[in-house]
Chain A
Amino acid sequence: MQAWRQPGFWLPLMIVFLWGLAVLLIRQDTARETAFTLLMCVGLASSLNILLGYTGYVSFGHIVFFGLGGYTGFYFLSQHNWSLLASSLAGGGLSAGLAGLVGLAVLRLRGAYFALATIGINEAARAFVSNFEPFGGATGLFINFSAYEQYGGAGPALWTAFTFLWLITLIVLATSFLVKHSRFGLGLLAIREDEDAAMVMGVKAPQAKTIAYVISAFFPGMIGTLYFFKNGNVEPSDAFQLHMSIESLVMVMLGGQGTVLGPMVGAITYQGLRGYLLTSPIFKSLHLAVAGLILLLIVLFVPAGAVGWVRGRFPRWRRVLE
């Protein structure tokens, strides 16, 4: 399986690569901030898609890994002066480890029970962090301004964070493609279609689901560290927003679950839409309701999402739109 020969592998990567490069060349603060938010969403949605899209398991707690990983990374960054790379790897590592433990236990549950368990995990994690003293309890942690010195001050540090996020997003997209086209990924797709049949055919379902869960948890942990590094502080209500888990779900559904390009398209479209709704005078106070309506219409009438719909409609494009 040679990924580099396939246009479907290169398309999402090239888009993000050129986009990030353009932002780095323009060197404009507003462009960077917009791109940071969008790339963060692309990363979160794509990593969620590895679990949701490929195995068909709904996780309402994706943001737990963003929050806990971010907290851990930020803790090492601000309290122990670790470098950004080391601390974000620590954040991602903790998230992945936690997902491994949780997955071994919880992924024995099927379908809806698993979804319920992830809601419980989200709430338990938030409540735990608010009471955990080394993480600053309910007030959270702050970064010492001098920590930015090693990146050449606060301004350049933001650019470092952006470049880092850009590279991580590229890795997430590549991973998403490689997982989908590996033997392991085929096992996941089989689980999505019919778990019992997949197990009969020799797919080790609990193990495969756990590995998918670990992969999908690693990246939010890293992204979380970068996000809180950029913000300069972290607090429980910021780190565990259930609605962000849901928004990533909407992004994945909007773009097309189970496709590589879909979550990216969905993330960018959803953020654009949200930006428009928040600023338009008519929909300003109704943006949540409008987003809900869109989600409902997608779920009821276009369950495959935008990319999935195009793939179904124009089979020739399937090689390009993975």
Chain B
Amino acid sequence: MLAQLLPSLTDGLLLGFVYGVAAMGLSLIWGVMTVINLSHGPVIALGMFATYLLFTHLGLNPYLGLVAVAGLGLLLGLVIYGAAVHRVINAPHLSSLLATFAVNMIIIGVGTAVFTTSPHNIDFPLGSLDLGPLTLPATRLVAALGAVAFTAGLYLFLYFTRPGKAIRAVANNRQAAELMGIPSAWILGLSFGLGTMLAAVSGGLIATFFPFTILSGGPYELKSFVICVLGGLGNPLGALLGGLLLGGLEGLIPTFMPVSWVPVVEFGLFVLVLLVRPRGLLGAK
């Protein structure tokens, strides 16, 4: 039992870091503008495909490619914000939910036409690392490290740079921030861009160890919702912890019951947390 538990748990936790990055993007957007970004999943899938295309056509190392993917993600986020979100930012939730969902449909529709729905994968093995009884696939280890690096980068950006501080000010009180001379429309766009950037990066990381299709973003989007609720919506650091929690659960559950019950437990937990503590286990920011 224990011999099976330990590797499975480690595997889950390493994956949890990557889930955390995806959820952080969603959480950041919610925290700054109280918009639930339903185009999150397709952006994750686009991150996968961007990494794939850079790797197969330009021969770029997928981990170096992530930097380019991050830049593209930021740009895409700015475009989505300008085209779809800015007009409905003050409207009821219904409008922003539907607007971001419309973006979701557009990306999936175009993506299906371009890439079809057949699976792709990035063939870039890194071997594995032996640690006593554990054998860790190096791709997952590097992905987890990458996730930590991006989280640290986001933290430094939000707390120690002027635009980062402006984002926190707008999240806190948009009117007051505007009175202090912060261009709130740009800051909202930037936050949305950062959110999609994190989604694209997590997609790129996932693509290094799982095969993917254009529809693969969906499950990760749903996991991101669960994680955000676990960690507290609008709390990016909580999202990383929530990701670890979910990853750990995914590692643990299969040792006790059939794998197919994993989603039942996950979403049951999700609804339960929403009911009992809608602010999340760790509390909102």
Chain B residue nearest to A105 in the complex (CB): B275
Task: Tell me whether B105 and A295 are in contact (CB under 8 A).
Answer: yes
Q: Which residues of A contact B97 (CB under 8 A)?
A: 58, 112, 115
Query: What CA separation (Å) do A246 and B101 show in the bound complex?
Result: 9
- Would you list which residues of chain A between 281 and 321 have a CB under 8 Å from chain B? 285-293, 295-296, 299-300, 303
Interface of A is mostly: helix
Task: Tell me whether B98 and A127 are in contact (CB under 8 A).
Answer: no
Contact of B271 among A52, A120, A253, A257 (CB under 8 A): A120
Q: Which residues of A contact B106 (CB under 8 A)?
A: 288-289, 292-293, 296
Does A29 have its Cβ within 8 Å of any Cβ on chain B?
Answer: no
Contact of A117 among B94, B104, B274 (CB under 8 A): B274
Task: Tell me whether B226 and A120 are in contact (CB under 8 A).
Answer: yes
Q: Which residues of A contact B149 (CB under 8 A)?
A: none
- Would you list which residues of chain A between 128 and 145 have a CB under 8 Å from chain B? 128, 130-131, 138
Task: Tell me whether A249 and B271 are in contact (CB under 8 A).
Answer: no
A306 to chain B, nearest CB (A): 15
**Which of B88, B97, B258 has the most CB atoms of chain A within a 10 A radius of its CB?**
B97
Query: What CA separation (Å) do A295 and B222 show in the bound complex?
Result: 22
Task: Tell me whether A116 and B36 are in contact (CB under 8 A).
Answer: yes
Contact of B93 among A115, A123, A126 (CB under 8 A): A115
Task: Tell me whether B109 and A56 are in contact (CB under 8 A).
Answer: no
Does B261 have its Cβ within 8 Å of any Cβ on chain A?
Answer: yes
Task: Tell me whether A56 and B94 are in contact (CB under 8 A).
Answer: yes
Query: What CA separation (Å) do A105 and B225 show in the bound complex?
Result: 19
Contact of B94 among A58, A109, A293 (CB under 8 A): A58
B239 to chain A, nearest CB (A): 14
Q: Which residues of A contact B95 (CB under 8 A)?
A: 299, 303
Interface of B is mostly: helix
Does A154 have its Cβ within 8 Å of any Cβ on chain B?
Answer: no
Task: Tell me whether A127 and B260 are in contact (CB under 8 A).
Answer: yes
- Given the interface contacts A56-B92, A299-B98, does A124 sit within 8 Å of B271 by beta carbon? yes
Q: Which residues of B contact A117 (CB under 8 A)?
A: 270-271, 274-275
Q: Report B253-279 CB contacts with A as 1/0, cut-off 8 Å.
A: 000001011011001101100110010
Task: Tell me whether B98 and A253 are in contact (CB under 8 A).
Answer: yes
Q: Which residues of B contact A253 (CB under 8 A)?
A: 98
Q: Which residues of B contact A109 (CB under 8 A)?
A: 274-275, 278
Q: Report A96-121 CB contacts with B as 1/0, cut-off 8 Å.
A: 00000000011011011101110111
Query: What CA separation (Å) do A253 and B109 show in the bound complex?
Result: 20
Task: Tell me whether B274 and A299 are in contact (CB under 8 A).
Answer: no
- Would you list which residues of chain A between 200 and 246 have a CB under 8 Å from chain B? 246
Query: What CA separation (Å) do A211 and B109 show in the bound complex?
Result: 37
Task: Tell me whether B263 and A290 are in contact (CB under 8 A).
Answer: no
Does B67 have its Cβ within 8 Å of any Cβ on chain A?
Answer: no
B114 to chain A, nearest CB (A): 9
Query: What CA separation (Å) do A126 and B105 show in the bound complex?
Result: 22
A55 to chain B, nearest CB (A): 11
Task: Tell me whether A289 and B271 are in contact (CB under 8 A).
Answer: no
Task: Tell me whether A286 and B113 are in contact (CB under 8 A).
Answer: yes
Chain A residue nearest to B95 in the complex (CB): A299
Q: Which residues of A contact B104 (CB under 8 A)?
A: 292
Contact of A291 among B88, B109, B275 (CB under 8 A): B109
Q: Report B96-129 CB contacts with A as 1/0, cut-off 8 Å.
A: 0111011111101110110000000000000000
Task: Tell me whether A288 and B109 are in contact (CB under 8 A).
Answer: yes
Q: Which residues of A contact B282 (CB under 8 A)?
A: none
Task: Tell me whether A112 and B36 are in contact (CB under 8 A).
Answer: yes
Task: Tell me whether B109 and A295 are in contact (CB under 8 A).
Answer: no
Chain B residue nearest to A287 in the complex (CB): B109
Q: Which residues of A contact B36 (CB under 8 A)?
A: 112, 115-116
Chain B residue nearest to A300 in the complex (CB): B87
B132 to chain A, nearest CB (A): 35
Q: Which residues of A contact B (CB under 8 A)?
A: 52, 56, 58, 105-106, 108-109, 111-113, 115-117, 119-121, 123-124, 126-128, 130-131, 138, 246, 249, 253, 257, 285-293, 295-296, 299-300, 303
Top-4 shortest CB links A-B: A289-B109, A292-B105, A288-B109, A124-B267
Extra contacts, 8 of them, besides A109-B275, A296-B103 (Cβ < 8 A), are A58-B94, A58-B97, A109-B278, A112-B34, A117-B275, A292-B101, A292-B105, A296-B83
**21 pairs across A/B with beta carbons < 8 Å?**
A56-B92, A58-B97, A106-B274, A109-B278, A115-B36, A116-B229, A119-B225, A120-B267, A120-B270, A123-B267, A124-B270, A249-B98, A257-B94, A286-B109, A288-B112, A292-B103, A293-B106, A295-B102, A295-B105, A296-B83, A299-B99
